[in-house]
Amino acid sequence: MEDDAYEEVPLNLSLAIMANPGGEKINRKRKRRVPLPSSYEGCEGKIFKLLQVREEMLKLDYKRKGVVEDGKALHLIHLLLITATSVDENNVNSALDNLTQLYQSVSLMGDSVQRVVAYFADGLVARLLTRKSPFYDMIMKEPTAEEEFLAFTCLYRVSPYYQFAHFTANQAIIEAYEKEEEFNNRALHVIDFDVAYGFQWPSLIQSLSEKASGGNRISLRLTGFGTSFAELQETENRLVSFAKGFRNLVFEFQGLLRGSKLTNLRKKKNETVAVNLVFHLNTLNNSMKISDTLKSVRSHRPSMVVLVEQEGGRSPRSFLSRFMESLHYFAAMFDSLDDCLPLESAERLSIEKNHLGKEIKSMINCDKDEENNKSISRYEKMETWKSRMESHGFEGTKLSSKCLIQAKLLLKITTHYCPLQCEGEVNGGFRVFERDEAKALSLGWQDRCLLTASAWQCV
């Protein structure tokens, strides 16, 4: 019926502005063909103007290329927050005016503030529109699988972000294996809940191979969950091919579609079992799914569970609190790229558009995506994850000094454009620091924590 209400709008474009993202009461009112409320008058022209200004911003970036002065950067952030408030309060006219002003001031080729504000503006525009709007898909257009994969690999290579997560997790897994080496028959079984093309595992394969002597081969079995058979097949081919270069290691891969039950797992006698929960739990749509996953993990009594999650503070009851947390987090992520790539880098533009930008727009519209059972990242505080783990029968275990030393070394070899700051300083650059009595290790940018790694054992 919503479409019927908009058939009487001039130009018949079904712009479908959402006055209430939750929408129940509004939908009931629109069951009859009635004139649009007065608050919508003039919106069609404002939307066209907004989209025209956005198009000019995308095509004429060079006119606003450069670094924004501090005062103007603060003005952009202030205007963005005012706009988010207008969207939250369903003040459509004010939101459209502010968004138009934002698009006139930002650039995807500008400094990190301009860039991140541009993607947040896109997210707010999409939130004003329903999925039936002809412009919603244009704003929320997702990158192709190839573009997304390329952006991920670029970020993986140039930034310590994903490497910190994977190397810290692998070090904890290796140490769990070493503790049981006398009775585990030199067998390690890793269960990875999000194998994501297997980027994490070549370094583990190499490290285990270095531990194996000529006559005592180590067996590594990897059970990995993926989003498609094609992804799992590609992952298996890549890892099997890599492992062939290490003759003192026996490698096996078993792929499972995400959502499959952990049943009938092939297990060797006394093997060390480690569960890898790296960037997985935060993608589950509700607390019940997280709880079910942790119960399933505990039922297999693993020797070690490694948890790595982005640091945030998502409040499902408040759009503005979620928006503020997301802005702080992604502003730090965009700013951190200054430490890795120059502003004009094509790789940086790819990372921002096809990886970080996509996440920003999804985060702002996550309530819409959850209604369609789409996986959305939830960034929460370390303390929240700690409470969840403990309530499901796990206790934290200290990460060794090797994890900290390795992480510091990683920062030295993966940052290029800004000088590495001394430990404890918060005025520039990446840094690593221990938390929770060395039971957790965090990667931060300046004074903002980006992600945290921790290790857990069954009580």
Spatial separation of the C-alpha atoms in residues 69 and 411, rounded to whole Å: 28
DSSP state, residue 433: E
Q: At what angle are helices 112-128 and 319-336 packed, to 10 degrees? A: 150
Spatial separation of the C-alpha atoms in residues 337 and 352, rounded to whole Å: 9
For residue 329, which of 382, 380, 388 has the smallest C-alpha distance?
380
Higher pLDDT among residues 372 and 52, named by residue = 52
Spatial separation of the C-alpha atoms in residues 397 and 180, rounded to whole Å: 16
- State pLDDT tens for residues 400-449: 999 999 999 999 887 655 544 444 443 348 999 999 999 999 999 998 99
| pLDDT for residue 24 is more than 90 | no
Which residues touch 451 (CB under 8 Å, ≥6 apart)?
161, 164, 165, 308, 309, 310, 311, 442, 443
Which string of DSSP letters, residue by residue, matches 318-353?
-HHHHHHHHHHHHHHHHHHGGGTS-TT-HHHHHHII
The chain-wide mean pLDDT, for the chain, equals 84
Strand partners, 28: none
Confidence class of residue 390 from pLDDT cuts 50, 70 and 90?
A: very high
Confidence class of residue 262 from pLDDT cuts 50, 70 and 90?
A: confident
Locate the domains of the chain by residue range: 43-59+69-141+317-365, 160-315+378-413+429-458
CA dihedral (330, 403, 200, 390) positive or negative: negative
- State pLDDT tens for residues 124-165: 999 998 777 878 889 999 999 999 999 999 999 999 999 999
CA dihedral (235, 238, 240, 246) positive or negative: negative
Distance separating the N- and C-terminal Cα atoms of the chain: 55
- State pLDDT tens for residues 296-354: 999 999 999 999 999 876 555 688 988 999 999 999 999 999 989 999 999 999 999 99
Confidence class of residue 30 from pLDDT cuts 50, 70 and 90?
A: very low
Spatial separation of the C-alpha atoms in residues 440 and 428, rounded to whole Å: 22
Which residues touch 98 (CB under 8 Å, ≥6 apart)?
79, 82, 83, 86
| pLDDT for residue 37 is more than 50 | no
Q: In this predicted structure, what is the pLDDT of residue 3?
A: 42
Q: Are the CB atoms for 142 and 151 separated by under 8 Å?
A: no
Which string of DSSP letters, residue by residue, matches 389-429?
HHHTTEEEEPPPHHHHHHHHHHHHHH--SSPPPPTT--SSS
Give the helix, strand, coil percentages of the chain, each rounded to 5: 50, 15, 35
Q: In this predicted structure, what is the pLDDT of residue 21?
A: 41
Q: Are the CB atoms for 368 and 405 separated by under 8 Å?
A: no
CATH number of 160-315+378-413+429-458: 3.40.50.150
